[in-house]
Structure 1
Amino acid sequence: MMLYPPCPEPPGRARRGPAGDRDVTDCSTPSPATRGPAVAVIGAGAAGLAAARRLAGTCAVTVFDKARGPGGRLAHRRREGFAFDFGAPFFTARDPRFTAELARLRAAGIVTPWACRFAEIEAAAITHRRDWGDTPAHYVSIGRMSRLTAHWAEGLDIRQNCRITALHPAPAGWTLESEAGERFGPFAFVVLALPAPQAAALLPETSMLRATAASARMQGAFSLMLGLAAPLDPGFDAALVRDGVLSWISLCAARPGHEGGPGLVAISRNSWADDHLEDDPATIRAAMLDALAACLGETLAPVHLDLHRWRYANAPAVAGRPRLIDAANRLALCGDWTAQGKVEAAYLSGLETAEAVLARLAAS
C-alpha cells in the first residue's frame, strides 16, 4: 500500500544525460510566463518559500522538499479527531519587511494576533501572568500553523516527497539527484534552505559554504501532543516554562480557528532534548508527562498521545551574519539558523539570500 503520494511528475522534459547518467528532468527551460535562469530551492519551510517567492518573478524556480507538504517547523498534525500545532507556536515581527508581509497576510485572513492568557512557570509554580495584546503582537496562522506556508507556496512549482541527496556539477550549473534516483536540472543556481547539518552534507568540498554550515550549532526538541477526553483549564492558554524538562505548554483549543478535540502541546527544553535525543520514545514520553503533571498540578490521562522528535529544532542567536552565497560555485544558503532561530529570521534570511542570488545572476 502506498502511504504517501509519489513525487509529482515534473513539467520539464526528460533528456538523456552524459553516458552512464540517468535521465535528467530538464528544468533549464522556463515556461513562457517566466523568462529567466533556472534556480532550485531545496527546502519548503519559511526560508525556502520566502526565497522562492522573491526569485519567481525573475527566474524559473523549482522547490524540492522531502515532506508531504510545505511548512518545515510551522507544523500541524491531525490524529483521531485531534489537531496539533506542534512546531513553532507563534511568531513576532520587528523588521519592517516582515511587518509589511504580516499586514498583507492579516488582510487576507491567513494570520491573526493571538490574544491568549499567558503565564510563566518556574519551579512548578506560576510566577507571572499577563494577557497578550497587540504590543508586541504574537501571531499565529488561523486554523493551523501550516496555513501560512501553504499560502506562501501557492503558485510555486514544488516537488513534495522528493528528498535531494546529491548535487552534481553540470556545464550549465548543477543537476540534483533525489533519493529515488531521479535527476533534475540543470540549474543556474541552487539555494539550500535546510538545517545546517543537512546543508553541509549536500554542499561540495569546493564551496566555502560547507564550512559555514558544518560549524553551525543546532539544537533538538521534542513535541508531546496530548488528546484529552474533556477540556482542561489550568488558568492559562500558553505558558513559558523557565526550568526543567519543558520549555512551552499550550492548549490547542485556545488557538484562533482551532478545529478538533481538546488537546495540549508540550515542547521540551532544547538542552534537555540534546541530552536525550536518542533515548527510547517511551522514556521521553514518560519524562515529559511527569514534568507536565508537575507544572499543571495534576496528572493527565490522555486518550491520544503522540511524540515528535525535532533533531534540528532551532539555533542559538549568533553574533553577526555568516556569508550565505558562494558566487563562484553558484550556491547559496538560507534558514533561521543563520540568524536568530525564529520564523521572522527564516523569512528574512530567504528574502536576503534571494536578493543576493538575483544580484549575482544580473551581474553575469
Structure 2
Amino acid sequence: MPASRVLDELLPRRSGPLPRVAVIGAGMSGLALARVLTGAGFGVRVLDTGRGPGGRLSTRRSAEGGSFDHGAQYFTAREPLFRALVDAWVADGVAAEWRGRIGTLTRGAVTPAKASVRYVGVPGMSAVAKALADGLDVRTGVRVERVAREGLAWRLTSETGEDLGLAEVVVAAVPAPQAVPLLAGAPTLAAQAGTARMSPCWAVMARFDAPVAVELDGAFVEDSALSWVARDTSKPGRVPGERWVLHGSPEFSAAHLEETPEAMAPRLVEAFGQALGRDVRAVEAVAHRWRFAMPSPPLEASALYDAGLRLGACGDWCAGPRVEGAFLSGVALARRIAAS
C-alpha cells in the first residue's frame, strides 16, 4: 500500500460541511494529524516557522555536498499502524533500515548495544516528513503568535501582524512551552501543557578528512558532555564521506544554552575526542541549538483536546519522546477531533 493511503484511509471519509482545521507546526505530530483529517474530508491547513516541513526530522546540507541529520537520529516502529506506515515508506524508497553498529561509548571503551531495528529517512531524515506533507496544504516561514476567539471560530495572527484567517478547530503541534500561549483560550489545556518540561540539545555537525577509528556508527555516550554521536555517513543513501552528528547531553546543553554556536562547536568536538580516548580534529564543525529537544518526562496523555472550544495540542511531549510517540499523538488527536 502506498504510504499516503495508510493514513488517508484510516478514518471513514465524510461528506457535508466540516469544520476548518488549522494545525500550528509541521513536525511529525502535526503532519500525521493533518494527513488523517485530510483523508477523512476535513479542510486542513498547516502553518510552520521553518523553511520546510519536518521540525526535528531535519536534514542540513554540508558545504562539501553531503548532509547531516542534526535533529532526530533514527526511529523505531513498534505499534502496528506506525509499522505499516514505515513499511510503506521503505517500499516507496523514502526510508530504510539503518544497520549501523550501535553501542555505548565511555572514554574509549566500547560496549555493543542489544540488537534493534532502526530506520532512517532516505536520503535524509527530512524525507519522511516531506512524504507525509505531500499533497497537504502546508505553509512554511510563518510564526503564529495569537489565536483569538471570533464567533464560533478562532482567528490566527502571525508575529508580524498578518491575518492568517479563521478556523473552527486549532491544534498546537509544537513543543509544550510554545503551545502554552497558543492555548490561552483554553486555560485548562494551557495549564496542562505548562507542566511539561523539555530539555535542550546542542547539536554539532562535524566533518573529518579521514575515517574516525571506532568500531561504532552510533553511540550513547556516558561520563561526557555528549549524550549521543553518530556517523551520519553510515546511514543508507548518504553521500560518501566522514560526517558525524554530536549531541550534547541535556545537562550540558542547559548549562550552556545561551552560548554562541561558534563557541559550542569546538567544545563538543573536543568532548567527542575525550569520549573516544584520543584527539580528533574536524575540518568543519557547525553547531545548532535545539531549545526544546526532549520531553523530560512526557505527560501521561496521548494528546490534549477541549471538544467544546475545539482547541488541542499534540506532540512527543504527550505520547512519548520518540518519532513514533509524536506520530501516535497526532493520530490520537485526529481521532478525537473527528469523533467530536
TM-score of the superposed pair, with normalisation by structure 2: 0.90
4+ residue runs of structure 1 moved beyond 6 angstroms? none
Contact in 1 for aligned 2:45/2:136 (Cα 8 Å): yes
1:205 & 1:177 partners in 2: Cα distance?
14
Counterpart for residue 73 of structure 1: 56
Contact in 2 for aligned 1:117/1:131 (Cα 8 Å): no
Q: Which runs of 5 or more residues in structure 1 are unaligned?
A: 1-32
1:41-86 Cα deviation digits (max 9, x unpaired): 0000000000000110221000000000001111110121231111
1:256 & 1:323 partners in 2: Cα distance?
33
Contact in 2 for aligned 1:316/1:340 (Cα 8 Å): no
Q: Does 1:262 align with 2:245?
A: no
Amino acid at match of 1:166: R
1:125-168 Cα deviation digits (max 9, x unpaired): 32412585xxx311111210000000000000001101111112
1:34 & 1:222 partners in 2: Cα distance?
48
1:266-315 Cα deviation digits (max 9, x unpaired): 11111221122113434423331221111223322222110000100011
Which runs of structure 2 are paired with 1:183-332 in the superposition (5 Å)?
183-204=163-184, 206-259=186-239, 261-318=241-298, 320-321=300-301, 324-332=304-312
Counterpart for residue 61 of structure 1: 44
Q: Which runs of 5 or more residues in structure 2 are unaligned?
A: 1-14
SS of the counterpart of 1:305? strand
Aligned length: 324
SS of the counterpart of 1:208? helix
Counterpart for residue 29 of structure 1: none
Q: Does 1:110 align with 2:94?
A: yes
- Residues 191 and 34 of structure 1: CA distance in aligned 2, closer, same or farther (over 3 Å): farther
Aligned-pair distance for 1:205? Answer: 5.0
Counterpart for residue 5 of structure 1: none
2:17 & 2:280 partners in 1: Cα distance?
57
Q: Does 1:40 align with 2:18?
A: no
Contact in 2 for aligned 1:65/1:159 (Cα 8 Å): yes
Stretch moving more, 285-294 or 50-59: 285-294
Q: CA RMSD in A?
A: 1.9
Counterpart for residue 91 of structure 1: 75
1:34 & 1:148 partners in 2: Cα distance?
32
Amino acid at match of 1:199: A
TM-score of the superposed pair, with normalisation by structure 1: 0.84
Contact in 2 for aligned 1:64/1:158 (Cα 8 Å): yes
Aligned-pair distance for 1:335? Answer: 0.2
Amino acid at match of 1:219: S
Aligned-pair distance for 1:319? Answer: 6.3
- Residues 232 and 212 of structure 1: CA distance in aligned 2, closer, same or farther (over 3 Å): same
Q: Percent identity?
A: 37
Bigger Rg, structure 1 or 2: 1
Amino acid at match of 2:336: A
